[in-house]
Amino acid sequence: MVAHSLRARVRAGMIDEIKTVARRHLATDGANLSLRAVARDMGMVSSAIYRYFPSRDDLLTALILEAYDALGDAVEAADAAVERRDLRGRWHAVCRAARAWALAHPAEYALIYGSPVPGYAAPDDTVAPAQRPPVVLVGILHDGLTTGRLTPPPDELPDPLREDLAEVAAGLYPGMSEALLARGMAGWTQLFGLISFELFGRITRTLPHRDEYFDHQTGLMANLIGLPGPS
Amino acid sequence: MVAHSLRARVRAGMIDEIKTVARRHLATDGANLSLRAVARDMGMVSSAIYRYFPSRDDLLTALILEAYDALGDAVEAADAAVERRDLRGRWHAVCRAARAWALAHPAEYALIYGSPVPGYAAPDDTVAPAQRPPVVLVGILHDGLTTGRLTPPPDELPDPLREDLAEVAAGLYPGMSEALLARGMAGWTQLFGLISFELFGRITRTLPHRDEYFDHQTGLMANLIGLPGPS
DNA sequence: TCAAAATAGAGAGCACTGCTCTTGACGAAG
DNA sequence: CTTCGTCAAGAGCAGTGCTCTCTATTTTGA
């Protein structure tokens, strides 16, 4: 163990440093990350990087995983900081946390939620961390159901869709109302769209008061879902 | 004029062929479009392409403009094909048309709605065509207002947001209810999110019945907006 | 303790990219 | 018929991901 550790530790340090430098490059130069540039910044020769990451895609995957985890952490922390019974407060807190993280890390957000890199296929490791934000959102609704603060909406669902949703629910929140789950996913979809529009510059010219716009839009979805509270 | 035309015509033909070949490459190889590969496909040498497009970004811009126009055409045609008074039918038709176009042209959709290319800044020419889909959607709501089929929602809006929305409305549909405009933009945002999630493979594993899911989700937004009709 | 094995970085090199510059050929206009 | 603008071609530059070989160093096992 400790015998390993001298080399293993410096290796772990190198991996960390590469990722840090790569993240910095990502922030300035966008998604077209250059291994050679990273190596240059570290005073290494480009081929040495390949001792730590077998390919550029592997480095990207590592960054993607970290981004998912960072966003998931932020979102879950925001949810946990609000009184459990305040469903609407939790909803807004989660939405705002996701937006704040995205605005603070635009390049990493683009990495995980932008158009997929052509040749790149996200490995299965990314599936679970990618689902953390929607799971938190739906968890709020689930809490609302179990505490009686929320009632299942009477939406009519075609059978195939109901079965699909039931299967999704079974893996996360067994017994969850399919119609409410669908409404929650609508909220999650809209949240992603909101953040993407803002980040990719499709809103800024026309709507300067972006905070107010964001809160109003997420509030609309809270209304659609039936979260109790103001408005 | 006609004297010009021999050369001018073959030149226009070349430009068209380059764009066509580039679009094909886009579809197969994704967003990292290679000028050299396009030239190779046309039996040209790479430098010859620069007679027609001064840089790779200019070629991309041309493709982006065409993509915006194609989507705009599809969406407006879908709206026009439905009885004007059938607001909900028009809403669904527009949403389905946008999705169908995106599924048929995933690479071009990614080009215009994916994460922005790092060094690339969309020129102002793209602003107007990019707004055609949301303008069509909001137009449905505007028609609903003027024909009395839709009533302005009583949402409370903070003053700064109301002013921003009023300014947007003034440019498109003067006198439009700001609250209804906001709800319409929620629908547009969610539509974009729906298509992106489906296209970028964030939904397929869990929800095999995607048509039903899509219709249900867009129906939820139609409900939120208050469009009259089934459910 | 000392040799064998694993690991590290350096450098050269391949095939590719966007882009620039120069050269020579061709068609259009005076 | 000559001049001028346009075009394709080729060489070349700087950059990319990635592979291979060589050498130095550290770790490991007998």
> Can you give the CATH number for the domain in which A180 is found?
1.10.357.10
Nearest to A115 among B31, B197, B221 (CB): B31
Structure tokens given for A125: 């490791």
What is the C-alpha to C-alpha distance for residues A217 and A210, in angstroms, rounded to an integer? 10
Q: Is residue A230 part of a domain?
A: no
Same domain, A110 and A184: yes
User: Which residue bears the tokens 């939406």?
Assistant: A155
**Shortest alpha-carbon distance between residue B70 and chain A (Å):** 19
For the cut 80, the answer to whether the pLDDT of residue A167 exceeds it is yes
pLDDT value of position A1: 43
Same domain, B103 and B46: no
pLDDT value of position B125: 83
* CA B63 from centroid of its chain's CA atoms: 13
CB contact under 8 A, A186 and B183: no
Q: pLDDT exceeding 70 applies to what percent of chain A?
A: 94
pLDDT value of position A2: 47
**Shortest alpha-carbon distance between residue B15 and chain A (Å):** 25
Same domain, A126 and A182: yes
B43 touches strand D (CB under 7 A): yes
**Predicted confidence (pLDDT) per residue in B130-185, tens digit:** 999 999 999 999 999 999 999 999 999 999 999 999 999 999 999 999 999 999 99
Reduced to 3 states, what is the DSSP secondary structure of residue B137?
A: helix
- Say which DSSP state A231 is in: -
Contact A145, A174 (CB under 8 A): no
CB contact under 8 A, A116 and B110: yes
Q: What average pLDDT is seen over chain A?
A: 93
Contact A147, A130 (CB under 8 A): no
* CA B84 from centroid of its chain's CA atoms: 22
Same domain, B134 and B195: yes
Q: Is residue B60 part of a domain?
A: no
Same domain, A30 and A127: no
Q: How confident is the model at residue B230 (pLDDT cuts 50, 70, 90)?
A: low
Q: Is residue B108 part of a domain?
A: yes
pLDDT value of position A204: 67
Reduced to 3 states, what is the DSSP secondary structure of residue A171?
A: helix
Q: How far is the CA of B4 from the C1' of D4 (A)?
A: 15
What is the C-alpha to C-alpha distance for residues A154 and A134, in angstroms, rounded to an integer? 22
**CB-defined contacts A:B, below 8 A:** 139
Q: How far is the CA of A138 from the C1' of D8 (A)?
A: 61
CB contact under 8 A, A190 and B193: yes
Q: How confident is the model at residue B206 (pLDDT cuts 50, 70, 90)?
A: confident
Choosing among A115, A185, A196, which should be mutated to test the B contact, i.e. which has the most B CBs within 10 A?
Answer: A115
Q: pLDDT exceeding 90 applies to what percent of chain A?
A: 83
A60 touches strand D (CB under 7 A): no
Choosing among A161, A165, A180, which should be mutated to test the B contact, i.e. which has the most B CBs within 10 A?
Answer: A161
What is the C-alpha to C-alpha distance for residues B70 and B77, in angstroms, rounded to an integer? 11
Q: Is residue A231 part of a domain?
A: no
pLDDT value of position A12: 94
pLDDT value of position B119: 60
Same domain, B139 and B189: yes
Between B114 and A203, the higher pLDDT residue:
B114
For the cut 70, the answer to whether the pLDDT of residue A20 exceeds it is yes
For the cut 90, the answer to whether the pLDDT of residue A87 exceeds it is yes
- Say which DSSP state B131 is in: T
- Name the nucleotide with the smallest C1'–CA separation from B58: C18
- Say which DSSP state B156 is in: -
**Domain CATH number, residue A44:** 1.10.10.60
For the cut 50, the answer to whether the pLDDT of residue B2 exceeds it is no
Q: What average pLDDT is seen over chain B?
A: 92
**Shortest alpha-carbon distance between residue B78 and chain A (Å):** 23
Domain boundary, last residue among B9, B34, B54: B54
Containing domain of residue B209, as a range? 65-225
Same domain, B161 and B76: yes
To 10 degrees, the CA torsion angle through B72, B205, A190, A33? -80
Q: Is residue B214 part of a domain?
A: yes
Q: How confident is the model at residue A207 (pLDDT cuts 50, 70, 90)?
A: very high
Same domain, A70 and A88: yes
B30 touches strand C (CB under 7 A): no
Residues of A whose CB is below 8 A from B193: 189-193, 196
Q: How are the residues of chain B apportioned to helix, strand and coil, as percentages rounded to the nearest 5?
A: 70, 0, 30
For the cut 80, the answer to whether the pLDDT of residue B231 exceeds it is no
For the cut 90, the answer to whether the pLDDT of residue B115 exceeds it is no
- Amino acid letter, B203: I
pLDDT value of position B127: 86
Same domain, A94 and A121: yes
What is the C-alpha to C-alpha distance for residues B124 and B129, in angstroms, rounded to an integer? 10
Same domain, B41 and B73: no
Q: How far is the CA of B60 from the C1' of C26 (A)?
A: 30
Same domain, B92 and B170: yes
B54 touches strand C (CB under 7 A): yes
Looking at strand C, which nucleotides approach a protein CB closer than 7 A? Answer: 7-13, 16-22, 27-29
